[in-house]
Amino acid sequence: MKGIVIFSGSAHPAFADEVCAQLGRERSGARISRFSNDCLQAQLLANCRQRDVYLIQPLVPPTQEHLMELLLMINAARGASAGQITAVMPHYAYARSDKKDASRISLGGRLVADLLSTAGVDRVITMALHAPQVHGFFSVPVDHLTALGVIADHYRARDLSNTVVVSPDLGNAKQATLLARLLNLPVAAGSKQRLADDKVVIDSIVGDVAGKRAIVLDDEIATGGSIVEIVNRLADFGCVEASVACTHGLFTGSAVERLTSNPHITEVVATNTVPHPTGFPGLTQLSVAGLFAEAISRIHHGRSVSRLFNNVDPSYAPPPQPEGLF
C-alpha cells in the first residue's frame, strides 16, 4: 500500500490541519457542493489509488449534514480505488442512541455504523464513545482512543489536596474511577434520572464530597443540564467548588450561559475533538490531535495502537503471556 492521504469534511478542518501538522504532511483538498435540489456531492481533489486514505469528520451539528458528507467522501474514495479507507470520527454523535430504552425506538448508533460499512469504510478511529458497547455496533475494526491521559496531565500540574473526582451518573463512573486512579484521588458519583434530552434530576451523591473540591468528569457536554445539576447537588452536599472536564465539549443551546453563570464552577476543560463556540470565558482547550496523528501513523505502519494507553486504561493493555505451555 502506498502513502497516507488525509481529507477533511467541513465539520472541523482546523482539527484535521493540526493532525496533518503532527504527521508532517499537507491536508489534501475535498470539495463539498450542493445541487439545486439540496443534494450534496463530494469530490476528493487528490489521487487515492492504492493509498491509505483517512477522512477526518466529527459528527457535530448540523450532524446530519456532516454525516452525509462523510458517507459521500467514503463513496468517492472507494470509487477512486483507495487501498484502505479509514473514517476518523473524533466524536461519534450517534453513540448516545445505543439501547432500546423505550418501546418502538430506533437504534441510531447501530444504523449509522452499518451505513458507514455499506459506504465502504475499512476502519474507524474514534474517541470516548458514549458507551463501551457501541464499539460492537461496527462490523469493521475500530480503534477507540481515550483522552483520560491528556485530561490527567492537565490536573497533575496543580495542587490536588482535598480533591475528589465526580461522575455525573453511575454510567460514567468507570471513567471517573480511571481518572481518579491516575491522579491518586477518591471518586464519587451522582444518581441521575433523565427526564428529557435537556433535563435531568440528580437526587443523591454516592461518596464523600463535603468540604472538598471536585473534578466533574463527563464524556460529553451538550446543553450542560447534567453538569449544572450535579454541581448544584455537590454544593448542597458541602462541596466547595467544581472544575468541569469532558472529552467532547459541544456546548449547544444555552450551555455556555448555564456554565459561566454557575457560581460553583471555576473552570471548564474540554478537548478539541469538536469545534467550540467563540466567546466562552474560562474554557480551557486540550489538544488530542497528537493522539490521533500517532494512531494514524501506527495503523499505517502496522503497529499497536493500544500501547498508546497502556498506562492510562488497563483495558488497553496487551493480554498476559501464557506460562509453562512449552
At 203 the pLDDT is 80
B/e letters for 222-247, b = 16+ CB within 10 Å, e = fewer, are: bbbbbbbbbbebbbebebbbbbbbbb
B/e letters for 114-127, b = 16+ CB within 10 Å, e = fewer, are: ebbbebbbbbbbbb
* pLDDT, one tens digit for every residue, the chain (326 residues): 469 999 999 999 999 999 999 999 999 999 999 999 999 999 999 999 999 999 999 999 999 999 999 999 999 999 999 999 999 999 999 998 888 878 899 999 999 999 999 999 999 999 999 888 898 999 999 999 999 999 999 999 899 999 999 999 888 899 999 999 999 999 999 987 766 666 678 888 999 999 999 999 999 999 998 999 999 999 999 999 999 999 999 999 999 999 999 999 999 999 999 999 988 988 999 999 999 999 999 999 999 998 889 888 777 666 666 655 54
Q: Range of 274's domain?
A: 148-286
Looking at the structure, tell me whether residues 173 and 125 fall in a common domain: no
Looking at the structure, tell me whether residues 274 and 296 fall in a common domain: no
Looking at the structure, tell me whether residues 152 and 234 fall in a common domain: yes
Looking at the structure, tell me whether residues 203 and 276 fall in a common domain: yes
CA dihedral (268, 155, 292, 321) in degrees, to 10, reads -140
Looking at the structure, tell me whether residues 187 and 310 fall in a common domain: no
**What is the tally of structural domains in the chain?**
2
Q: pTM for this structure?
A: 0.93
Is there a contact between 113 and 139 (Cβ–Cβ < 8 Å)? yes
Nine-digit cell at 15?
482539527
CATH number at residue 20: 3.40.50.2020
H helix or E strand, kind and range, residue 22: helix 13-23
At 44 the pLDDT is 98
Residues involved in catalysis? 192
At 133 the pLDDT is 85
Considering the domain boundaries, does residue 325 fall inside one?
Answer: no
Considering the domain boundaries, does residue 244 fall inside one?
Answer: yes
Cα–Cα distance, 47 to 45 (Å, whole number): 7
At 198 the pLDDT is 60
Considering the domain boundaries, does residue 324 fall inside one?
Answer: no
